[in-house]
Structure 1
Amino acid sequence: MKKVLFFGYYGEGNLGDELLLKNLIDKFSERFLVGALVSKKKETENKIILFDRIRELLKAINWADVVIGGGGGIFQDKTSLHSFLYYLFILWYALLTKKKVYIIGQSFSPLKYRISRYLLKITLPHCGKIYVRDSFSYQFLQNLNVPKDKIKILPDIVFLTQFPDVRRDKENIGINFRPWDELKIEDLEKILKELLKENRKIIFFSFQDSMDLELFKKLDKEMIKEIEVVSSNSDNFWEKFSTCKYLVGMRLHSLILSTIAGIPFLGISYDEKIQAYLDDLGWKYYINTNEISDFYPLWIKLKEEEEILRSYLKIITEEKRDILKREIEEFIESL
């Protein structure tokens, strides 16, 4: 049986990335031995072998027959040049040791450093198929002169997630904020002030506790005292999420989960991957980080078109899920 190794931002407590890995395991473990590089090893099902992303990096790649960059936006140098080079090293070593190398479910966006762009440009053409999750990434790779026949657009792998059918009244407002240099605490408090006027229960969903919860604690204490907080590690995360009538979110996977659940959302676009998702979705209900004053009129418009938007999101989810199932099955068959 072939051995497939996945690498990504796994084991860091980011809900979106953990869902990416879970879906990949579910799809690939029926036909392959599956391994993953993670930052924190923990007990798991027999479906997967976990390797420490630092101490066992070379061991993991040597173990594998196929190495796959599995979802996310890991090839970026905005937050860390070090992590960008780490992920590139995985590609280099895997290619050097004659492994089959693929990338699936990735976002690509403009890089901060010229050297990053150059290294990516000379590396990616040596990989096999590269599945990107939005049109922006597709165009970016074409601009790097990655052969067109290597690149294909594929919806985010999180769309494969099957959530429990929780039948609850949708009465609450969900929110997700994450730290970002261009967005001030006061700006987020302005949004909260408007939402508190709704006289609905507000639930803050943390998608990465080490960042989102820390930001939440910095908000005005009087404003947040009645807001329920749901951690990414909570057993009832989806149950709580499914009670939301609307969502205001920053993180990409807060918007994707809203799409899957048919929850009309107002996005806060802070990065190219957010904008790319919204553009591909054909979604006009978002503000940029420098447009906080536009929140309220857009929020009113969102509520007015709630039922139309809810139906649209459900149709889109089925379409994306069908494409994913078909394309991943074809990819698995080709390995």
Structure 2
Amino acid sequence: MRLLLVGNYGAGNLGDEALRDFFLTRFPQHVWTCISVRPSRDRPEVPPLPCGLRSLCTTPWWRTFMVLWRVDAVVFGGGSLFTDTESVFACMLWWWHAMVARFLRKPLHFAFQGVGPFRTRLGEWLARSAFRKARSLSVRDTLSFSRVQLWHLNTKVIQSFDPVFSLVDKEKTHTNPQNVLTVIPRHNSRDSLLSRLKELLLGGMWDGVDILLLQPEHPQERSFALELLSAGAREIIPVRTLEELVDQVAASRVVLTQRYHGGLVALALQRELHCVEQSPGDKLDALAKLAARPFDREVLCSQIEDGVRALEQGLRS
């Protein structure tokens, strides 16, 4: 089948790129084209559809429309596409992609979705509207599952988990960690992360405090990292691949993060995890709740397989 993979790819976010790689490697029997904010000429990628005058005039959106015309189905592939925690525009952008695909009578599949939280009624309405006629639907956490269940959709909702978890080499859990505190900020991290770092610095003796940048080219992320250095961190380490992230986290004893996939890797490697949520009920909140109680890695991997089967069966239907 010819499929269009829709997601926040190409922005330099390590977690989103790992999700894209999961789909391309786990479903190699399909011919994929990916939405990317920075399409590469070396790969089958197209820009997002325009959602404003500027993007209408500056991006070759007609390439995306032609791909939509030709594909057999559209897959919204993981990540927090439908949440208005930062801006309701994100919900509007992905809703628009769903509406154009539906207009062209393309089956819609939503795989490993993080849904919500929502600050506005509009954001939630856009998400519910996009999901309304999904052929298959899986979500990555219990909070997302509860939100979608309240919508009473005709499509069965599958409780899955983030597939990046399954890409972490479980043998790395046996790596002897150093007495290092690893901090993973976002470009829009606030004082809450800085305050939590100061608490951890006062509460223990550390051999080192390292800062991992998962979007090292982002100027605001670099700027906030410099603030963390002045608070007592030792080193800023740019991280560009999942393998590099796994190695850095495996060498740490404690991880303080405001990045979801940084926390996910820490969870997979069974490191002490401190998540600083951006808003109540967000993906970091869901991850913190999971880390706060004993969990079975095999159960989580089994849930990922449930999501894989849901997508496979949906594509065959």
Task: Please report the TM-score for the alignment, with normalisation by the length of structure 1.
Answer: 0.78
Partner of 1:51: 46
Give the whole-Å Cα distance in 2 for the aligned partners of 1:158 and 1:235.
Answer: 11
Residue 43 of structure 1 deviates from its aligned partner by: 6.3
Partner of 2:249: 241
Residue 158 of structure 1 deviates from its aligned partner by: 1.0
For structure 1, list consecutive stretches of 5 or more residues without a partner in the other structure: 285-311
Partner of 1:219: 228
Give the whole-Å Cα distance in 2 for the aligned partners of 1:202 and 1:154.
Answer: 34
Partner of 2:30: 32
Name which of structure 1's ranges 18-27 and 159-168 shifts more when overlaid on structure 2.
159-168
Residue 50 of structure 1 deviates from its aligned partner by: 1.4
1:85 to 1:73, Cα distance in 2 relative to 1, 3 A: same
1:169 to 1:282, Cα distance in 2 relative to 1, 3 A: closer
> Is the counterpart of residue 317 in structure 1 residue 300 in structure 2?
no
SS at match of 2:301: helix
Give the whole-Å Cα distance in 1 for the aligned partners of 2:183 and 2:141.
Answer: 24
SS at match of 1:107: strand
Residue 276 of structure 1 deviates from its aligned partner by: 2.1
Question: Which amino acid is 2:263 matched to?
Answer: L
> Is the counterpart of residue 276 in structure 1 residue 286 in structure 2?
yes
Give the whole-Å Cα distance in 2 for the aligned partners of 1:17 and 1:183.
Answer: 25
Partner of 1:150: 156
Partner of 1:206: 213
Partner of 1:21: 20
Question: Which amino acid is 2:22 matched to?
Answer: N
1:43 to 1:142, Cα distance in 2 relative to 1, 3 A: same
Contact 1:121–1:145 (8 Å) recurs in 2: no
SS at match of 1:145: coil
Contact 1:102–1:128 (8 Å) recurs in 2: yes
Instruction: Give 1:115's match in structure 2, choosing from 122, 125, 145.
Output: 122
Instruction: Give 1:250's match in structure 2, choosing from 245, 253, 258.
Output: 258
For structure 2, list consecutive stretches of 5 or more residues without a partner in the other structure: 50-59
Task: Please report the TM-score for the alignment, with normalisation by the length of structure 2.
Answer: 0.82
Partner of 1:287: none
Question: Which amino acid is 2:38 matched to?
Answer: K
Contact 1:73–1:108 (8 Å) recurs in 2: yes
Contact 1:176–1:204 (8 Å) recurs in 2: yes
Residue 159 of structure 1 deviates from its aligned partner by: 1.7
Residue 326 of structure 1 deviates from its aligned partner by: 4.8
Question: Which amino acid is 2:207 matched to?
Answer: R
Name which of structure 1's ranges 322-331 and 32-41 shifts more when overlaid on structure 2.
322-331
Identity of aligned residues (%): 16
Equivalenced residues, count: 297
1:179 to 1:114, Cα distance in 2 relative to 1, 3 A: same
Give the whole-Å Cα distance in 2 for the aligned partners of 1:49 and 1:326.
Answer: 28
Residue 168 of structure 1 deviates from its aligned partner by: 4.6
Give the whole-Å Cα distance in 2 for the aligned partners of 1:77 and 1:32.
Answer: 32
RMSD: 2.7
1:330 to 1:177, Cα distance in 2 relative to 1, 3 A: closer
